[in-house]
Structure 1
């Protein structure tokens, strides 16, 4: 494997965001009530009920959620739905946690689609398809991959990855 010094800042930003999100997720819940989430922009209502498949846990820099024809700035606590596209700008990154406990950390200058996500919290079964159009992505898998790893796939324009591990990084530079 060849090390490219020009990609080091991107990997370091992604790694630091992942480590921060992982540390945040492992902290015990505070006894104080959490502040109410910021209201969603009129163009992009927040998902309710089963539509919300995940939540933004960390957002750094310019991060946009594209839902259908609507674009909105990502904010901590905002929901993520199936078919949402997450777009990060230069020196930007986002971390989100899905219903099954999967953590996705999207690096700078990246485009990621949550193409498919289904999870039954009672049976703990489901499936997931993440498409990395460009950039970098770190994934720490949750319950779906633990029970049925063949149900978790990551695609890029040139590759399809069947998940067998629990924590990995993917990069695509078309």
Structure 2
């Protein structure tokens, strides 16, 4: 079930993500847009308020994505970076900024639990060192354009 969820979300995100990123030249207060949701997915803001995620919802520069056991979500960030969050996951967007004119920015994610597939957009292509993913045991500096990371819950 997990593989089917991830594959379906990847296809949906890749199909819509590139075109949306090209229209992201205007400044926006949000970091990204939820492109697809399957199952129970919640977005938590910086003060802990929770709301169900729906396609088209804005993701703030500091939000948490929480997925249920048979759930998943894909998010396309303003620079075209695509995040696919797998089942039973908790992902914090700790920092996101992007200037569409200079194509400079940064992304810091914390995968607390679960799985994440990340396909870099303009930030990763122009400044790969500006994208980092933290887990409970390591910080990953991105040098490639597509990877998957999994973090098991601490006992």
Q: Decide: shared fold, TM above 0.5.
A: yes
Could you tell me how far 1:26 is from its partner in structure 2?
A: 5.7
Note the residue ranges of structure 1 that are not aligned, 5 or more in a row: 1-8, 29-48
Q: Paired residues, what number? A: 146
Structure 1 outlier segments of 4+, above 4 Å: none
**Unmatched 5+ stretches in structure 2:** 21-26
- Higher relative contact order structure (alpha carbons within 8 Å, sequence separation ≥ 6): 2
With over 3 angstroms needed to count, the CA separation of the structure-2 counterparts of 1:26 and 1:116, relative to structure 1, is closer
The SS at the match of 2:88 is coil
Q: Deviations over 1:79-102 (max 9, x none)?
A: 000110000001100001001000
Aligned residue for 1:128? Answer: 107
CA distance in 2, matches of 1:26, 1:160: 27
Instruction: Give the 3 Å change call, closer, same or farther, for CA 141–26 of structure 1 in structure 2.
Output: closer
Higher alpha-carbon Rg: 1
In structure 2, which of residues 14, 32, 51 is the aligned counterpart of residue 54 of structure 1? 32
Pairs within 5 Å for 1:1-174: 9-25=1-17, 50-67=28-45, 68-174=47-153
RMSD of aligned alpha carbons: 1.6
* Most deviating of 75-84 and 11-20: 11-20
Alignment deviations for residues 22-47 of structure 1 (CA, whole Å, 9 cap, x no partner) = 1344679xxxxxxxxxxxxxxxxxxx
Cα 1:148–1:81 shift into 2, 3 Å: same
Structure-1 separation of matches of 2:70 and 2:16? 21
Residues 47-103 of structure 1: per-residue CA shift (max 9 Å, x gap): xx6321100000111000011221000011010001100000011000010010000
CA distance in 1, matches of 2:80, 2:143: 16
C-alpha separation between the residues in 2 aligned to 1:110 and 1:63?
A: 9
Q: TM-score, normalised by structure 1?
A: 0.79
Shift of 1:13: 2.0
103-112 vs 11-20, which moves further: 11-20
